[in-house]
Amino acid sequence: MIQTNSNLFKSLSLSPEILDNLESLGFSSMTPIQEEALPLILAGNDLIAQAKTGSGKTAAFGLGILHKLNLENKKLQSLVLCPTRELAEQVAEEIRRLARFTKNCKVLVICGGASEYQQINSLEHGVHIIVGTPGRVLKFLKKGSINLEALEILVLDEADRMLDMGFRDEMEAVAAFIPKAAQALLFSATFPEEIESLSDVFQKNPKRVAVDSKHEKDIIRQIFIEVEDHRHKSEALVRVLGHYKPESTVIFCKTKQNCAEVAAMLERLGVSALAMHGDLDQNERTVVLTKFSHHSCLILVATDVAARGLDIKDLEAVINFDLPTDAEVYTHRIGRTARAGKEGLAFSFFVKSEKEKLGEIENYQNTQNEYLKLSELSKTARFDLIAPMKTMYINGGKKDKIRPGDILGALVNEAGIAATYIGNINILNNQSYVAIASAQLDLAISKLNIGKIKGRKFRVGEA
């Protein structure tokens, strides 16, 4: 990207601490959404912004929040609402990263699936920024555990997904607690009519920006494959995987039953795959997503509802086992591949009766679809989609003051495993997950079960 004065972070009225941190993180020039939105946010405007996941929107509103933050005031000053716990965790982590040089900035995640007692206890110690889901935040507002009287900024992130997931009533109920003077920022990948009426509830004369709503055709190669009927999609899927051999794939299905059946079919073929749908509880979702991010599962089979709000990195391919009904949803799905300038593949299976949808996609993207006949893909192409990593769990986490360095040290020093065999380390409140090269997993588990981490014994096993 060619850098101009206007798209450099230092051209903005950000504090020296924030600018120094951005430089240390390797951020110099802004993404299009940051260049469009940040000046408006810093000027105090309410904002409606259209931007897809992965466009840099979190940093756009995160920097706006930190710019306005008064650390001497111990009261809550910013609230970010997200559709899922996973996205809330990701957003909170990004804000903490942007605030590394901002001393004593307290960011708290308030979501379901976690201890209310622990969350209320953390609130009582004071917090500057809350990132949460509408249901749990509203519950705490009604109980008086969250007080918004000093709120400066409200952010609705992935607003269209929150509407799709049925959070309209909860969001409007939260609005009743928001001070009239608070700045309101609404981010959405798509713009259904409900977004306009939602804006009327929260915002005053909002400015509008729209970038990254469509994907560059030369970055994502979109391939459409016709099948005789829906029963032949499984054969098409196996042929696509055998021919292209993607190492990290999300497959979208319409229903949770389809998800479970497709994942089970792939497992029978020896493919590392997991299903994610609405029947999974929060702990099961966490394990599935952790294993996928650790490359101990190479294929995630998901419904749109289950996958909303997830920022999945380094994804080689998206496969639409079932076409979505809407061209915008299609665009949002395939946008999960080809992040950060990388190329990606998007395959879509369709039957004859769905050809009208293909025309809508062409019109929406202003592109010409690429078609591939199933007969052009070999029936006998073999593929080895066995995960190179496995995920180990440790029955201890943040509450035990465990840090990634403690786990890495135990694995290298006590278990004798080279650091090159150790991947991502995720530490949650009560447990931790570690990516380990498959061949080293049994050794790691046996050594840590008899050894110690940070001078203490913890239960260790395969997730």
Mention the CATH class of domain 389-462. alpha beta
As a whole number of angstroms, the distance between CA 48 and CA 203 comes to 9
User: Which residues have C-beta within 8 Å of that of residue 288, sequence separation ≥ 6?
Assistant: 274, 275, 276, 280, 297, 300
Q: Sheet holding 344-350: strands in order across?
A: 273-276, 299-302, 249-252, 317-320, 344-350, 220-226, 370-372
* Phi–psi pair at 274, nearest 5 degrees: -135, 150
Token duo for residue 259: 């998800």
Q: Tell me the mean pLDDT in the region 241-262.
A: 91
Element (H, E) at 297: none
> What CA–CA distance (Å, rounded) separates 30 from 38?
9
- Reading the block at residue 75, the tokens are 């009261």
Indicate whether 307 pLDDT > 70. Answer: no
Query: Given pLDDT bands bounded at 50, 70 and 90, which one contains residue 383?
Result: low
Q: How far is CA 128 from the centre of its chain?
A: 23
DSSP 375: G
Helix spans in 82-182 (H): 85-98, 116-124, 134-143, 159-164, 168-175
Given a cut of 90, whether residue 236 has pLDDT beyond it is: yes
Please give the pLDDT value at position 340.
Answer: 53
CB of 195 closer than 8 Å to CB of 186: yes
Phi, psi dihedral angles at 347 (to 5 degrees): -110, 140
User: What confidence tens digit (pLDDT) does each residue in 91-105 have?
Assistant: 998 898 898 878 889
Residue 387: band (very low, low, confident or very high) from pLDDT cuts 50, 70, 90: confident
pLDDT in tens, 267-277: 898 888 999 88
Between CA 358 and CA 47 the distance in angstroms is 33
CATH of region 220-376: 3.40.50.300
- The residues of the chain that CATH labels 3.40.50.300 are 5-210, 220-376
What is the mean pLDDT of the segment spanning 447-457? 89
Does pLDDT of 213 surpass 50?
no
Nearest to 155 by CA among 173, 135, 182, 179: 182
- Residue 60: helix, strand or coil by DSSP? helix
Dist. CA 154–CA 141, nearest whole Å: 14
What confidence tier does 81 reach under pLDDT thresholds 50, 70, 90?
very high
23 SS3 class: helix
Type of residue at 278 = G
| Residue 325 per-residue DSSP state | S
Question: CA-to-CA distance for 147 and 170, rounded, in angstroms?
Answer: 17
Question: Given a cut of 60, is residue 216 above it in pLDDT?
Answer: no
Q: Is 156 in a helix, a strand, or coil? A: strand
pLDDT at position 6, please? 63
Write down the number of H helices and E strands in the chain: 17, 18
* pLDDT bucket at 280, cuts 50 / 70 / 90: confident
| DSSP codes, 386-435 | --SEEEEEES--GGGT--HHHHHHIIIIIS---GGGEEEEEE-SS-EEEE
CA distance 414 to 395: 18
Q: Answer whether residue 463 shows pLDDT above 70.
A: yes
Q: Name the packing angle between helices 256-268 and 233-244 (round to 10°).
A: 50
Q: Residue 74 pLDDT more than 90?
A: no
CA 114 to chain centre: 19
pLDDT, mean of residues 136-160: 95
- Residue 344 is inside which H or E element, if any? strand 344-350
Confidence of residue 290 (pLDDT cuts 50, 70, 90): confident
Average pLDDT over residues 65-78: 93
> pLDDT per residue over 392-427, tens digit each?
999 998 888 888 888 988 999 888 898 889 988 888
User: Residue 348's closest CA among 217, 262, 225, 242?
Assistant: 225
Is residue 282 pLDDT above 80, yes or no? no
What mean pLDDT, rounded, does the chain reach? 87
Q: What is the pLDDT of residues 440-449, one digit of tens each?
A: 999 999 999 9
* Buried/exposed code over 225-236 (b: 16+ C-beta within 10 A; e: otherwise): bbbeeeeebbeb
The DSSP code for 85 is: H
Residue with tokens 């440790």: 394
141-145, 154-158, 178-182, 429-433: range with lowest mean pLDDT: 429-433
pLDDT category at 2 given cuts 50, 70, 90 is very low
Residues of the chain with CATH 3.30.70.330: 389-462
pLDDT of residue 164: 82
The pLDDT value recorded for residue 313 is 66
Q: What CATH number was assigned to the domain covering residues 5-210? A: 3.40.50.300
Reference 312, options 386, 389, 250; nearest CA is: 250
Decide: 331 and 184 in contact? Cβ < 8 Å: no
The pLDDT value recorded for residue 322 is 95
4 falls in which pLDDT band (50, 70, 90)? very low
Helix/strand/coil for 107: strand
Question: Contact at 8 Å (CB) between 88 and 131?
Answer: yes
